[in-house]
Structure 1
Amino acid sequence: MFTIDDLADRLAGYLPQDEIQQVKRAFYYAEQAHDGQRRRSGEPYVTHPLAVSNILANMHMDHQSLMAAMLHDVIEDTGVSKAALAKQFGEPVAELVDGVSKLTQITFEDKAVAQAENFQKMVMAMSQDIRVIIVKLADRLHNMRTLGALRPDKKRRIARETLEIYARIAGRLGINTIRVELEDLSFQAIHPMRAERIKRAVSKARGNRRTMIRQVQTSLQNCLDDDGLPGTVIGRQKHLLSIYRKMRDQRKPFAEIMDVFGFRIITDDVDTCYRILGAVHNLYKPVPGRFKDYIAIPKANGYQSLHTTLFGANGMPIEVQIRTREMEAMANNGIAAHWLYKAGQTERPIAAGSHARAREWVRGLLEMQRHAGNPLEFIEHVKNDLFPDDIYVFTPKGDIMELPQGATAVDFAYTVHTDIGNGCIACRIDRHLAPLSTRLESGQTLEIITAPGARPNLAWLSFVVTAKARSAIRHALKNQQRTESIQLGRRLLNKALADYETSLEELPDGRLPRVLEEFELKHADDLLESIGLGTRMAYAVARRLTESPADDTLSSDIGGPMEGPVVISGTEGMVISFARCCHPLPGDPVIGHLSVGKGIVVHRLDCRNLDELKRDDPDKLFSLEWSSEISGDFPVGLRIEMETRRGLVAELASLVTDADANIERIGIEERDARLSIVNLTLAVRDRVHLARIIKRIRNLPHVGKIHRVRN
């Protein structure tokens, strides 16, 4: 069994004796605190913190991290407080332990909420000290190594959480040794039979391919030696989850994936990396389009290397990675390389850069957390943000921006700055105008065009991929909805107060504060927002505001709906929406329904759903009229009977485009061998615009009936 003395012997290689003594003191304190506690496997509980410290010792972490690892379950599982730990071991160690500890004093409604709250707490601690996440990853790694004693359902739950969050965080911080092991252990817990079959197949394939691997490795090494290039060639093994994902996503058989041979060449400096690249390209022909230079443009987690794929003997593909020793340490240890080099008393810029990038990422997490509505939304944003495949695009000034695969111009705008994202209206990609939803590719140059007063669009949420953009858009839309609800509420209330020959501004002093107190609201804006969102009736509030203070009875059915129609212009934003059941157009006779949480929903007067609304909510219906200056496009449905023939859709699309309208949706049903029913959803300006389009469609040959879809 691994003991504290074994750990002390390992630490003697890079820590001074007084710091080793502090680590031992933390171990004895944890041993006493966990006295009598045992793990599910039956071992004394203290073996777990000792094993976590050993994992950190492999990464050459500092003595405070090792002490926190020894004590990481003390606050959570024993009666020891954070203050007691601070007194014994100092504030930094106590803060690290508290950052890793779960929230045990609060009862949560379900596991998902508890997970989200605990993760949010850990992120707050990470913002103060990045070592929190390294201790947590080591803790999770040992827990995954010892999952065997748990029930199958609990194993799968912990493994999924590990795969979705902790393995991705390890990858994002560049700690690939931990990431690979976490992924493989999770895969074995979630799909034990698949993992076992792949493991056996890998072992068998490795035996069959040993001679061929040795031949390629020897030829690469001889190539370097002949050119006088210092470097070591080593074989590179694929891990289980990587093989499984390629088989599943690329639909390739196991033999085809294992046919690719992987090698890594480790050398002394960057200049030699490029010279070795030239040498191996002379030895074997490179596969076009498969070269990637991560030295010039590192990945978001600080990873640097040259990647190339070669045609070997008999067309066998060979994947080669070329990097320096420092890059190799960085690839395996990521942010932990910062402490690895510190322990060796030599500052390395690559490790310092990784540490700075990690802190920048944590700052981004904090901004997401501020914008998120609740912990569950926050953890969903974080999961989206942890996908590792990145692209690299340029600002007009030549600065490089890292974005995830599939990112759009809107994602780029929010990466530059939240205000740029909120105000963007168009973009130029490589000096050409392009839609904001365009998916970006590496190497493109982007320029964002902004306008004062521009606001985010709800439709952006359907195509943005970065968590920062998603959370910032949602935050802006919430504020936008409140602003628009207040404006609509003010209009509705003033309209209702006009029946009493007054307005909000002309109310006697003290009348509004009295009503706010009765409604248990703090600000007038809260009252106006509730009217705009339909949770309070404007005429009932108006009646209460005009009553004398002596009348204490408040009734929502006092009085009746306001006189005179409310004018709508179509630019009110999120608090006025148009019913999808009847698709009202400017020029149609319309009526409004005040719907809770949605504001005013506009219906046509002949909408079939009005009968139900009149029966259930007659007080929430009121007359509307269209503004003479209405603008915008409105959806409308058409049902067209016509003869089936080739080129039908293209003909209709051309006609609608020529009429200055857009097709939002098109569907064709075949009634019989001769007739087809075309269902069109168009975006038009008003009834006159629609009538012009219908007239054009009627002029087409072989068109029968045309109906406007009413419900």
Structure 2
Amino acid sequence: MTDKIGSYLNDQEKELVEKAYAFAAAAHSGQYRASGEEFIEHPLAVAAILSELEGDAQTLAAALLHDVVEDTSVKLEDISSEFGPEVARLVDGVTKLSRIQFHSRVEEQVSNLRKMFLAMADDWRVVVIRLADRLHNLRTLDALPREKQKQIAEETLEIYAPLAHRLGIWRFKWELEDLGFRYLHPEEYRALEQEIAAKQSEREAEAAMIIEQLHTKLEEAGIHADVQGRTKNLYSIYRKMKTQGRQLNEIYDLLAVRAIVDTVTDCYETLGIVHTLWKPMPGRFKDYIAMPKPNGYQSLHTTVLGPFGQPFEIQIRTREMDRTAEYGSAAHWRYKEGRADESFDQKMAWLRQLLDWQREMTDAGEFMEALKIDLFQDEVFVFTPKGDVIDLPVGSTPLDFAYRIHTDIGHHCTGAKVNGKLVPLSYKLQTGDIVEIMTSRHSTGPSRDWLDIVKTSQARSKIRSFFKKQVREEDVARGKASLEKEIQKLGVKWADIDEAGIFDKVLERLRYSDMQSLYAAISYGGISPVHVAGKVKDEIMRTQPSLMPQKEELQKPPTKQVKSPEEGVIVKGMSDFLVRLAKCCSPVPGDPIIGYITRGRGVTVHRIGCPTIQTLKDEERFIEVSWEAEVIGSYPVEILVEGYDRPGLFADVMAAIANVGSNISKATAEADSDGIARISAKFDIHDLDELKKLVADIRRIKGIISVDRAFGARR
């Protein structure tokens, strides 16, 4: 490694690397790996791998020190004082959270990945060090038990190899894939290796002939080119056999030829020469020069029929493109602190999108599954109307595109045009499509059906967050109404309490950040409104006793036995007025409600927050309504439950509903391909408190993701 770094680092930079080696060797003194070799051999090997990519001095120093904080008594502060904050930040980014107790291996794995992604967003060199670390661990995996080998190999194929692909570091990607394949499926690996080796001499002879023919023609055209040939890596061949259900003798494009030229013009001229030498296969040409991949990869790809009638792929690119293809982000070492220019920053946009949705996922298993889908995917490349390229997973829809552009565009999407024509929101986007999203300010937000349409975890997460926020707004309104009722019983005006600062003191005593949080807690049963009102009264008596009425009237209003749900509603300023509960939102006693005077049908009562209210334009026809103080009756509601599919989930939910004595009128269940079960249940309930208790009971059932109240329960 000394010779290698001497070829591109100056004396001061070499001194930093040598100092880091001496520090790490002293810290790891007396430590040995499972293979029996001294521990320092591992960080030294990691740094050597990175030196082959011409890693900068800070990266090499961090690579040498990357296990010091995790495996010795050295603290991060010691690294910072000895080597500076930049090296310390890189070391911290690759240090695992080994001193924290986790409930499961998945939780530990997710926590470490989250930490790495956050550090990577600040400095992408963190993940390059981690990839080199993983690569050397795989090279020396023989010393570990079989179960540990499988665990590391599986994680490599699911997370680290796709990360290398995303960063465009093909040199890492191929070796990570093949080593992961070797240890996860050793028998299949050996069988495929032997089968390919059996005809390797034939392929080498064919490659030599193709290379010679192409090189001769390019020289005649005055194009200076380096022409190379190689067999595709084992894991990519294995995946193609598995996904396409083929045997090796049915996989024809095992050979790839690469022509590396001086200029972009040379690339296209070379393409013309290739197509005159060999017949191109229809639909197998890709221009990644005009439309680069998000990781910065540029090249021309064409598949042609070779001299023996076998298809083979030719990749054509410039020397700078080849360096980016081999080293990906590592081709940008020279940018200060791992930060590149604006164009490179745009290529890393996928990471910021990844961070956006992963912050919203609290369940470790859900995060891991979403990460695997979003990292390891085939892509389509589509255009905005302005010509910007957006990459999405194969199978993505206009809704995925809308949420990739901006959350608000997704939420307010009303339709889409692809290539100038209206398409359904479920349309599967194709590479080259020009996508235009139509929006409306009057849109009430996403539909739950969209969860079955979208492909990306980002879009699904944003839609779920919308409904969670909607539920919170309803909770705030319900909680406030419940507290207002209890405060009214005290005989004190709400405005007087607020003006006297009583609520601020109560919030402090109860440890809530604001009134909205308190209202929401009251609604979902976290705290009783009676308890809060008691604290309000205590604070009044302690600081503002004059606010209390001289004589408290504690007469309890009579309970009203209603024959129909509508009889439990009071219309302000009117009596004997026809009242109808809106079927679009199905209010129950305890819901904050509002009335709307209809033509010929009296007053229709809606839940506050009902989407239908937004469509009612005549504000003068809204009227104040309230529930009777005590109502005994039954009211129809519908809930929507999401959970991880398992045997007995539906029965557990139905049992919870039956336990509160509710009459179930209709219930349905279905599960999607992601293993998510969706249950809809319609039943009668007495009031909001009973419903909240039921919802809390269902949320405690194993595997439940969400429980939401639907609009539209009907008798």
Whether these two folds match at TM > 0.5 is: yes
Q: CA deviation at 1:468?
A: 2.9
Q: In the alignment, is residue 529 of structure 1 matched against residue 520 of structure 2? A: yes
Q: Structure 1 residues 516 and 10, CA, compared in 2 at 3 Å: closer, same or farther?
A: closer
Greater shift in the superposed pair: 70-79 or 363-372: 363-372
Which secondary structure state, in structure 1, belongs to the residue aligned with residue 257 of structure 2?
A: strand
Q: Is the 8 A contact 2:397 2:428 kept in 1?
A: yes
Which secondary structure state, in structure 1, belongs to the residue aligned with residue 391 of structure 2?
A: strand
Q: Is the 8 A contact 2:161 2:176 kept in 1?
A: yes
Which secondary structure state, in structure 2, belongs to the residue aligned with residue 236 of structure 1?
A: strand
Q: In the alignment, is residue 46 of structure 1 matched against residue 40 of structure 2? A: yes
Q: CA deviation at 1:123?
A: 1.9
Give the Cα separation in 1 of the matches to 2:657 and 2:458. Answer: 42
Q: In the alignment, is residue 324 of structure 1 matched against residue 318 of structure 2? A: yes
Q: CA deviation at 1:526?
A: 3.6
Q: CA deviation at 1:274?
A: 0.5
Q: Give the aligned partner of residue 4 of structure 1.
A: none
Q: In the alignment, is residue 269 of structure 1 matched against residue 269 of structure 2? A: no
1:76-95 to 2 correspondences below 5 Å: 76-95=70-89
Give the Cα separation in 2 of the matches to 1:427 and 1:569. Answer: 31
Give the Cα separation in 1 of the matches to 2:641 and 2:517. Answer: 13
Q: Give the aligned partner of residue 396 of structure 2.
A: 407
Superposed CA deviations along residues 227-261 of structure 1, whole A, max 9, x for unmatched, are 33332322121111111111111011111115653
Q: 1:591 aligns with which of 618, 624, 635?
A: 635
Q: Give the aligned partner of residue 21 of structure 2.
A: 27
1:232-251 to 2 correspondences below 5 Å: 232-251=226-245
1:570 partner letter: C
Q: 1:176 aligns with which of 170, 173, 179?
A: 170
Q: Is the 8 A contact 2:257 2:315 kept in 1?
A: yes
Give the Cα separation in 2 of the matches to 1:431 and 1:257. Answer: 38
Q: Which runs of 5+ in 2 are unaligned?
A: 542-555, 562-566, 570-580, 592-632, 643-653, 665-683, 689-710
Which secondary structure state, in structure 2, belongs to the residue aligned with residue 442 of structure 1?
A: coil
Q: CA deviation at 1:597?
A: 9.6
Q: Structure 1 residues 568 and 193, CA, compared in 2 at 3 Å: closer, same or farther?
A: same
CA RMSD of aligned residues (A): 4.1
Q: Give the aligned partner of residue 68 of structure 1.
A: 62
Q: CA deviation at 1:398?
A: 2.5
Q: Structure 1 residues 561 and 33, CA, compared in 2 at 3 Å: closer, same or farther?
A: farther
Which secondary structure state, in structure 2, belongs to the residue aligned with residue 441 of structure 1?
A: coil
Q: In the alignment, is residue 456 of structure 1 matched against residue 446 of structure 2? A: yes
Superposed CA deviations along residues 50-81 of structure 1, whole A, max 9, x for unmatched, are 00010000000111111111111111111111
Q: CA deviation at 1:195?
A: 0.6
Query: How many aligned positions are there?
Result: 589
User: Normalised by the size of structure 2, how large is the TM-score?
Assistant: 0.73
Q: In the alignment, is residue 442 of structure 1 matched against residue 506 of structure 2? A: no
Which secondary structure state, in structure 2, belongs to the residue aligned with residue 40 of structure 1?
A: coil
Q: In the alignment, is residue 150 of structure 1 matched against residue 144 of structure 2? A: yes
Q: Give the aligned partner of residue 14 of structure 1.
A: 8
2:390 partner letter: M
Q: Is the 8 A contact 2:323 2:331 kept in 1?
A: yes
Q: Is the 8 A contact 1:180 1:239 kept in 2?
A: yes
Give the Cα separation in 1 of the matches to 2:335 and 2:515. Answer: 59
Q: Structure 1 residues 595 and 397, CA, compared in 2 at 3 Å: closer, same or farther?
A: closer
Q: In the alignment, is residue 472 of structure 1 matched against residue 472 of structure 2? A: no
Q: Give the aligned partner of residue 614 of structure 1.
A: 661
Q: Give the aligned partner of residue 334 of structure 1.
A: 328
Give the Cα separation in 2 of the matches to 1:419 and 1:280. Answer: 47
Which secondary structure state, in structure 1, belongs to the residue aligned with residue 113 of structure 2?
A: helix
Q: Structure 1 residues 549 and 96, CA, compared in 2 at 3 Å: closer, same or farther?
A: closer
Percent identity, aligned pairs only? 40
Q: Structure 1 residues 504 and 530, CA, compared in 2 at 3 Å: closer, same or farther?
A: farther
Q: 1:570 aligns with which of 578, 584, 587?
A: 584
Q: Give the aligned partner of residue 221 of structure 2.
A: 227
User: Normalised by the size of structure 1, how large is the TM-score?
Assistant: 0.73
Q: Is the 8 A contact 2:378 2:393 kept in 1?
A: yes
Q: Give the aligned partner of residue 390 of structure 1.
A: 379
Superposed CA deviations along residues 396-421 of structure 1, whole A, max 9, x for unmatched, are 22322222222211121122122222
Q: Structure 1 residues 473 and 543, CA, compared in 2 at 3 Å: closer, same or farther?
A: same
Q: CA deviation at 1:519?
A: 7.1
Q: 1:365 aligns with which of 341, 354, 359?
A: 354
Q: Structure 1 residues 611 and 572, CA, compared in 2 at 3 Å: closer, same or farther?
A: closer
2:471 partner letter: Q
Q: 2:476 aligns with which of 474, 483, 486?
A: 486
Q: Structure 1 residues 571 and 623, CA, compared in 2 at 3 Å: closer, same or farther?
A: closer
Q: CA deviation at 1:484?
A: 2.3
Give the Cα separation in 2 of the matches to 1:357 and 1:438. Answer: 27
Q: CA deviation at 1:476?
A: 2.6
After the TM superposition, which segments of 4 or more aligned residues of structure 1 sit over 6 Å from their partners? 340-343, 492-520, 534-538, 540-551, 558-563, 593-598, 607-611, 684-687
Q: CA deviation at 1:437?
A: 2.5
Q: Structure 1 residues 623 and 560, CA, compared in 2 at 3 Å: closer, same or farther?
A: farther
Which secondary structure state, in structure 2, belongs to the residue aligned with residue 288 of structure 1?
A: strand
Give the Cα separation in 2 of the matches to 1:430 and 1:238. Answer: 36
Q: Which runs of 5+ in 1 are unaligned?
A: 1-6, 552-557, 577-588, 599-606, 625-683, 688-709
Give the Cα separation in 2 of the matches to 1:534 and 1:517. Answer: 19
Give the Cα separation in 1 of the matches to 2:277 and 2:488. Answer: 88
1:464 partner letter: V
